[in-house]
Amino acid sequence: MSHELVAQSTKAIPGDQQIADYLPMIFDKRVGLVVNHTSVLGKTHLADTLLSLKVPIKKIFAPEHGFRGTADAGAHIDNGKDEKTGLPIISLYGSHKKPTKADLEGIDVLIFDIQDVGTRFYTYSSTLHYVMEACAENSVKLIILDRPNPNGHYVDGPVLEKEFASFVGLNPIPVVHGCSLGELAKMINGEAWLDRGIQCDLTVIPVKKYKHADKVHIRVAPSPNLPNDQAIGLYPSLCLFEGTNVSIGRGTTTQFQVAGTNVEGLGDYTFTPKPLPGAMDPPLKGKLCYGFDLTKTDTRALGFSLKYLFYFFEKTGKKESFFTSPAFFDKLAGTNELRKMMLEGKSEKEIRASWQEGLKEYKKIREKYLIYR
């Protein structure tokens, strides 16, 4: 499967394809890779490519969903060994989100190459944060092979408040942050967001022929429940439903492209979640859900929208019971103000107005670290 990312009429060239730029930095170093199934050049995994070039790779570190990208969201993943290369795989998920001193023993350089989708609650950026922190604490250099952000054309949503920091949001950035992971890493360093303000020895290999305004097509699904560009575009608006009684299609073949709940008569579309790879125990499993088919929605025009959230909240009674996990909803939102204002009967316009000042301040910070203008 080709992994070229097409940006409008030009072809963006991800950092991992620019081997001549980073090979001199690593050819005589002991290397660890923070990678998953998206870390491919053409049809070949980065690990296989570097091994063929005699780069001394010692370990693979894998994020949520694992090295091959097949595990359910939130599933426990054990450490193991890659059958093809024999390399040890260390899972950076569950109770082991950050590489330890022992994990990094014998490593001079870590290479980070993972496709992100540009939202705060997508956990690959939290993995990046912890990897940066571990590298800073253990004097390991970090090289990020940057990739385009498919939601990089806009910035929106509430900025995370410190008390709601979690693995689905560690830093004071909005839901849609408008950065590549390389830019975000520069921001984390520059704003001293790592523990005790420590600094990571960081090099970013930028994407060539790419601007944030470009329309990015991703050929390799970044995780099991974001199977295509449509799901990735809808993800910012639909992920908040994960803390409610609404299904966003886990357990169907239209994950993050439908929304519905088991209240008869809502919307004009029905679906029934069932166990599928990547979602073996989906919300509302086996229940007929009524709602909307969003597979044809113009996601760039939609942006980060609360309209579906408001629709289901209002149609199901405007009650606290809509939020099946209030604490998780607040972590996803990065604040409890969104939920509280909805329960108080505030309009979407009023809620949006409440986060504009924070967004304005964030955009000033973001400007300092942009690579792709």
Q: What is the pLDDT of residue 74?
A: 53
Q: How confident is the model at residue 7 (pLDDT cuts 50, 70, 90)?
A: very low
Helix (H) or strand (E) holding 113: strand 109-113
Q: Residue 9: is its pLDDT beyond 70?
A: no
pTM confidence score: 0.93
Q: What is the pLDDT of residue 86?
A: 87
Q: Which residues pair with 33 in a beta bridge?
A: 60, 111
Q: State which amino acid sits at residue 244.
A: T
**How many alpha carbons fall within 13 Å on the CB side of residue 94?**
12
Residue 233 main-chain phi, psi, to 5 deg:
-70, -35
- Encode pLDDT of 289-324 as tens digits: 999 999 999 999 999 999 999 999 999 998 999 999
Spell out the domains of the chain, with CATH numbers in brackets.
Answer: 5-217 (3.40.50.12170), 229-335 (no CATH)
Q: What is the pLDDT of residue 81?
A: 84
- Encode pLDDT of 155-185 as tens digits: 999 999 999 999 999 999 999 999 999 999 9
Q: Residue 69: is its pLDDT beyond 80?
A: no
DSSP sequence for 133-190: HHHHHTT-EEEEE----TTTT--EEEEPPGGG-BTTB-SS-EEE----HHHHHHHHHH
- Encode pLDDT of 235-278 as tens digits: 999 999 999 999 999 999 999 999 999 999 999 999 999 999 88
- Encode pLDDT of 98-115 as tens digits: 999 999 999 999 999 999
